[in-house]
């Protein structure tokens, strides 16, 4: 059967971020919640492709659907292990609609565009939890589905990927509101969520195989290999406390030139790491951050280094005493004169003017570091119990184009900038955390509290203590609000815009409060816990 190539095979392409869905591939394990989406797609004339049980489900609704077998020319083979793994499917998802070469090849091989991919993976974790046999568990390792998700996510410029049935309600709302079209920000957000889905799925499979791996002798704890650093480390004066021995495995000289001061301690290194991670969020605009016990007590951006430093210091000059200071810009003499008034443990900068360096070296024990341009690891490790935890570093922070406005009132341009700033700081602050900010300055934060409300009240009290008016400020939360009390307290304090991940079963309570009181709220879909 010949599948007609859609009108998207044209010589010219208009990079309109709003894209109408003309075709969709649906391949899901659980069908719950799928029916309204199928009906909506059909109402808008979307051509549907599907496989196996999903195809039968759509046909039973009385809605026309094209079998993937008719698209590929191959039946489902090897007991269903191979259905969608074919260039006609993956080509339709992956080819670039703006690339003339891709368009020509799609037309040559009669590959229709696939604008929407809906996948719900085989329930691997559920099958493991059920106590099923190894054979049954292995058959629940999804191959085609996981590949479809990765393909749809990779080509988010052109395709929308729905990677979990948990997204059905949200995607139905988006498609209903936008007439079965999507914006680039929608597609990018769902791509990000898709890779989170694949990462979790693959990790679950890896954990199952690891648990069944044959016994392999492991080095005793305390005799771990540090091969990347040549197996040698630098003995520190002590660890987190004087009674703890400590060693650093790494190459500090590759990352910093130490221009002045004593050797770095364990706690110094931990704070320096926090400083570097935070300042790297702020690009090239002159920015200063002041860290105390790994949390920011001052962050600000400005047109000059001096202004950025003084604005950062104003956030909390009390906590800044004895802190670690970092900047992404050259320290000039004018800025150094202000910095020299503060007792600080460490100052980190990419460069120093000679006169500035001479002045800053006047304090005997102050550590001055010049940062080099070194690529940092993307993994992090932590010893725990009788083993080691490994995870990817949290290397993403959401920008305004990834915000989803969930309230009637949308944030203003200045509020969006303030929300972006607050979120950058929030990501690098101990959970639970609440951060208040404007477009260029941290106002206050509540850090490391067992209750989000406690973190919020701590931030309000701190802002008041240093004379900050919260009226018109933005608030960021590292995780969702379980109740509406946080937005209520924030509103009473003067906050007008809020960013949070969303995902609470009571999100609507917070949204309703914001709508009733004129607040703007955006969600990101991304949590930034830091324990």
- In the annotation, is 293 catalytic? yes
What does the alpha-carbon distance between residue 304 and residue 499 come to, in Å, rounded to a whole number? Answer: 28
E strand or H helix that includes residue 406: none
Query: From residue 184, how far is each of 158, 189, 399, 401 by CA, in Å?
Result: 8, 9, 13, 9
CA-nearest of 30, 396, 18 to 174 is 18
Q: Which of 31, 44, 86, 154 is labelled catalytic?
A: 154
**DSSP-assigned letters across all residues of 78-128:** TTTTBSS-SHHHHHHHHS-TT-HHHHHHHHHTT-----EEEEE---HHHHH
Whether 260 is catalytic is no
- Measured in degrees and rounded to the nearest 5, phi and psi for residue 330 equal -65, 135
Contact 152, 160 (CB under 8 A): yes
How many C-beta atoms surround the C-beta of residue 145 within 10 A? 23
Backbone φ and ψ of 436, nearest 5°: -105, 140
Both structure tokens of 366: 């102050």
- Comparing CA positions, the residue from 409, 442, 411 lying closest to residue 516 is 409
116, 160 contact by CB (below 8 A): yes
Candidates 258, 293, 404, 409; catalytic one: 293
Measured at the alpha carbon of residue 186, what is the angle toward residues 182 and 189, in degrees to the nearest 5? 155
Mind telling me the catalytic residues?
154, 293
């Amino acid at each position: 059967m010949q599948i007609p190539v859609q009108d998207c095979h044209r010589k010219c392409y208009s990079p309109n971020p709003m894209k109408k869905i003309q075709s969709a591939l649906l391949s899901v394990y659980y069908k719950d919640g799928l029916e309204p989406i199928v009906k909506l797609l059909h109402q808008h004339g979307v051509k549907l492709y599907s496989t196996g049980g999903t195809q039968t489900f759509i046909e039973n609704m009385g809605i026309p659907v094209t079998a993937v077998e008719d698209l590929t020319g191959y039946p489902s083979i090897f007991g269903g292990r191979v259905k969608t793994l074919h260039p006609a499917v993956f080509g339709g998802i992956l080819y670039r609609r703006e690339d003339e070469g891709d368009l020509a090849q799609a037309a040559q091989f009669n590959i229709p565009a696939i604008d929407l991919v809906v996948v719900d993976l085989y329930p691997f974790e559920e099958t493991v939890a059920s106590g099923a046999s190894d054979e049954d568990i292995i058959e629940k390792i999804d191959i085609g589905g996981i590949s479809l998700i990765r393909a749809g996510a990779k080509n988010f410029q052109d395709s929308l990927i729905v990677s979990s049935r948990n997204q059905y309600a949200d995607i139905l709302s988006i498609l209903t509101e936008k007439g079965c079209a999507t914006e680039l920000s929608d597609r990018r957000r769902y791509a990000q969520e898709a890779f989170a889905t694949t990462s979790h799925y693959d990790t679950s499979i890896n954990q199952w195989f690891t648990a069944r791996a044959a016994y392999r002798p492991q080095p005793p704890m305390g005799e771990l290999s540090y091969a990347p650093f040549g197996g040698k480390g630098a003995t520190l004066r002590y660890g987190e406390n004087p009674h703890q021995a400590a060693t650093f495995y790494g190459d500090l000289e590759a990352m910093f030139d130490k221009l002045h001061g004593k050797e770095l301690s364990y706690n110094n290194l931990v704070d320096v790491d926090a400083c570097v991670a935070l300042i790297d969020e702020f690009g090239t605009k002159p920015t200063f951050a002041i860290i105390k016990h790994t949390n920011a007590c001052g962050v600000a951006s400005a047109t000059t280094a001096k202004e950025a430093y003084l604005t950062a210091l104003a956030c909390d000059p009390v906590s800044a005493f004895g802190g670690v200071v970092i900047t992404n810009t050259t320290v000039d003499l004018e800025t150094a004169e202000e910095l020299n008034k503060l007792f600080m443990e460490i100052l980190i900068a990419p460069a120093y003017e000679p006169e500035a360096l001479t002045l800053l070296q006047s304090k005997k024990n102050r550590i001055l570091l010049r940062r080099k341009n070194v690529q940092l690891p993307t993994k992090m490790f932590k010893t725990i119990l009788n083993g080691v935890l490994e995870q990817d570093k949290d290397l993403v922070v959401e920008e305004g184009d990834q915000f989803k406005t969930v309230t009637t009132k949308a944030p203003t341009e200045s509020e969006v900038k303030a929300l972006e700033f607050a979120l950058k700081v929030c990501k690098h602050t101990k959970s639970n955390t609440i951060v208040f900010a404007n477009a260029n300055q941290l106002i206050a934060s509540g850090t490391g509290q067992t209750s989000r409300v406690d973190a919020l009240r701590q931030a309000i009290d701190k802002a008041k203590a240093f004379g900050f008016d919260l009226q018109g400020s933005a608030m960021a939360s590292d995780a969702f609000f379980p109740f509406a009390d946080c937005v209520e307290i924030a509103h009473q304090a003067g906050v007008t815009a809020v960013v949070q991940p969303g995902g609470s079963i009571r999100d609507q309570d917070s949204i309703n409060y914001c709508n009733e009181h004129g607040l703007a709220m955006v969600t990101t879909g991304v949590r930034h816990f830091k324990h």
